[in-house]
Amino acid sequence: MLNYDSVASRIKQSDKIPSLMSMLHWNISNDEATSTITQLLDVLCDDDYDMLMLAGHKHTWRNTVKLIAAAGYPKNKKALPSLVLQLQDLNWPGANEGMHVLKMAHEADKDVLIPILEAAIESAFVDSDFIWLAGIKQFLALA
């Protein structure tokens, strides 16, 4: 599994990004989250967004989704598969917010989510993960 150290190695930022990502804990104030998100937006590259949800912990997911949303589409395009994974349980932190990011991406580029959703649906069927299928269905009703 990815962790903050492997993310730091990949993006060649030995201390700053992992440190900032760990500060996105769910219980920080909105002002602290906004400040940290702004700092991260300044140092992240487009290729880094696919790693953010995977490198974090559940307690950082809600603010990580805010970061992904703040980056906007298409910069956050590589993060979309991890947001579809969050549909596995809509009770997870940031799952509902992630649906709105997915919706915005879908509105910006109608074809971007089709292969991601097809792969997720196939995986959910193989695993008999009906909760994930329900999350995907809920997203599709929103989109």
pLDDT in tens, 6-42: 555 555 544 677 888 888 999 999 999 999 999 999 9
State the pLDDT at residue 30. Answer: 93
| 82 CB-side CA count, 13 A | 23
Q: Give 43-97 as a 3 state SS string.
A: HCCHHHHHHHHHHCCHHHHHHHHHHHHHHCCCCCHHHHHHHHHHHHCCCCCCHHH
3 state SS of 119: helix
Closest CA to 76 of 107, 54, 44: 44
**Alpha-carbon gap, residue 47 to 33, rounded angstroms:** 22
Number of domains in the chain: 1
CA distances from 48 to 29, 78, 122 (A): 25, 8, 26
Q: Enumerate residues 6+ apart whose C-beta is below 8 A from 25.
A: 59, 60, 63
Sign, Cα dihedral of 94, 16, 5, 49? positive
Q: What is the domain extent for residue 27? A: 4-142
**Alpha-carbon gap, residue 25 to 44, rounded angstroms:** 18
Q: What is the pLDDT of residues 54-65, one digit of tens each?
A: 766 889 999 999
Percent of the chain scoring above 70 in pLDDT: 88
Query: Of 44-48, 82-86, 100-104, 134-138, which range is least confident?
Result: 44-48
Angle between helices 114-126 and 130-142 (to 10 degrees): 160
State the pLDDT at residue 22. Answer: 86
